[in-house]
C-alpha cells in the first residue's frame, strides 16, 4: 500500500456507476483535505493508499482523450485546491467536454475557463457551507458560469442540519440555480445516532448506510433533480449531463469586460 496517490493517472477511467454511459472520471488533483462526512472517495481510497488528506497534483494523463465523451473532473480530489493547475491540465490535454465537481472552498486562481461547475454544498458542515455559498456568489457576480448546486442531503430530525438544508435550497431558488440533490451514503451505522437520522429512510447495504430509492429529502426546490434517484446508477439518471451548458473554448465574462484571475485567498 502506498502512502498517497501518484501524480499520474489513466485518462479514460470508468467506475462501476459510469460503465456504459458517456462519462469518464478524471482528477487534476487526487487526495483531499476537506474531510467531508462519509466521503465516498476517502473510503474507497483506503484500499490503496494510507493518507487521503494529502492532495497530489496530477502531472500526467496516460491514454487518449475521447471527444465523444464528457469528463467529470473531481472524483478523488477537489480541483479547486489549485485552479491554475486544473486549468493547465485541461488545456494541455485538450479536454473540450468536461464539468468540474468541487466543494469550492477556494476560488483563488479561478479564471472562468471552467464554465460548468457542479458545486457540493454540505449542510453537515456549517463553515464549509458558508464558504461554499460565499464563493458561489462571487463567481456568479464576476463570471459567466453555469453552476449547479449538489446539496448533500439527509433525512434527519437534527434541527441545524435541516436549517442548513433549507438555507441551501433558499440560496438556490433566490439565484435561479438548479439543485442536484446528492443524498449522503453514510459509512457507519453510528450515523443513525450521530445525525439523528430517520431510520425508515435508510438501509444498510453494500457496506454503506444508503437512502432508500425514490426518496427526496429536500423540499420546496424550484429546479429539483436527484443524483441516481431510482438506484439504477448513472445509466438510469445522467442528470449531471442534462444540466450542462454547451462547452466553450473561450472565457466569456459579464458585460464583455476583461477581468483578472481571482487572486484572493478565498
Q: Is position 2 within any domain?
A: no
What is the band of 132 on the pLDDT scale with cuts at 50, 70, 90? very high
pLDDT digit string, tens, across residues 55-111: 999 999 999 999 889 999 999 999 999 999 999 999 999 999 999 999 999 999 999
Going by the DSSP 8-state scheme, the letter that residue 6 receives in this structure is -
pLDDT for 257 equals 34
Distance between CA 108 and CA 252 in Å, rounded? 18
Q: Is position 43 within any domain?
A: yes
Average pLDDT (183-191) is 94
Domain that holds residue 88: 8-244
Helix, coil or strand: residue 8: strand
CATH number at residue 229: 3.20.20
Going by the DSSP 8-state scheme, the letter that residue 171 receives in this structure is H
Q: Is position 253 within any domain?
A: no
Q: Is position 87 within any domain?
A: yes
CB-based contact 132:36 (threshold 8 Å): no
Q: Is position 95 within any domain?
A: yes
C-alpha atoms less than 13 angstroms from C-alpha of 195 in its C-beta half-sphere: 25
| Total tally of structural domains belonging to the chain | 1
The grid cell for 150 is 449538489
pLDDT digit string, tens, across residues 229-260: 888 888 788 899 889 875 433 333 333 333 44
Average pLDDT (216-228) is 96
Q: Is position 148 within any domain?
A: yes
Query: Where does 113-198 show beta strands of DSSP type E?
Result: 116-121, 146-153, 179-183
pLDDT for 46 equals 76
CB-based contact 90:73 (threshold 8 Å): yes
Q: Is position 256 within any domain?
A: no
pLDDT for 252 equals 33
Q: Is position 257 within any domain?
A: no
Please give the model's pTM, rounded to 2 decimal places: 0.89
Determine what percent of the chain is predicted with pLDDT higher than 90. Answer: 69
CB-based contact 139:118 (threshold 8 Å): no
Amino acid at each position: 500500500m502506498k502512502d498517497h496517490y501518484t501524480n499520474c493517472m489513466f485518462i479514460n477511467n470508468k467506475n462501476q456507476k459510469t460503465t456504459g454511459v458517456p462519462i469518464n472520471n478524471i482528477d487534476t488533483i487526487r487526495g483531499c483535505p476537506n474531510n467531508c462526512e462519509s466521503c465516498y472517495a476517502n473510503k474507497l481510497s483506503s484500499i490503496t493508499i494510507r493518507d487521503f488528506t494529502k492532495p497530489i497534483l496530477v502531472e500526467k494523463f496516460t491514454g487518449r482523450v475521447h471527444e465523444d465523451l464528457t469528463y467529470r473532473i473531481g472524483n478523488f480530489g477537489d480541483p479547486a485546491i489549485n485552479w491554475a493547475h486544473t486549468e493547465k491540465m485541461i488545456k494541455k490535454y485538450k479536454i473540450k467536454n468536461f464539468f468540474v465537481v468541487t466543494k469550492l472552498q477556494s476560488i483563488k486562481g479561478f479564471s472562468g475557463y471552467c464554465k460548468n461547475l457542479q458545486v457540493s454544498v454540505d449542510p453537515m458542515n456549517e463553515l464549509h457551507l458558508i464558504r461554499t455559498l460565499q464563493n458561489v456568489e462571487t463567481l456568479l457576480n464576476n463570471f459567466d458560469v453555469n453552476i449547479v448546486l449538489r446539496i448533500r442531503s439527509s433525512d434527519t430530525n437534527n434541527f441545524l442540519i435541516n436549517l442548513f438544508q433549507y438555507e441551501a435550497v433558499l440560496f438556490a431558488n433566490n439565484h435561479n440555480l438548479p439543485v442536484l440533490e446528492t443524498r449522503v451514503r453514510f459509512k457507519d451505522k453510528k450515523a443513525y445516532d450521530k445525525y439523528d437520522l430517520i431510520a425508515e429512510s435508510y438501509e444498510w447495504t453494500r457496506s454503506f448506510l444508503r437512502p432508500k430509492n425514490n426518496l427526496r429529502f429536500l423540499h420546496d426546490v424550484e429546479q429539483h433533480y436527484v443524483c441516481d434517484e431510482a438506484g439504477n446508477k448513472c445509466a438510469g439518471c445522467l442528470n449531471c449531463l442534462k444540466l450542462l451548458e454547451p462547452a466553450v473554448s473561450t472565457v466569456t465574462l459579464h458585460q464583455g469586460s476583461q477581468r483578472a484571475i481571482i487572486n484572493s485567498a478565498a
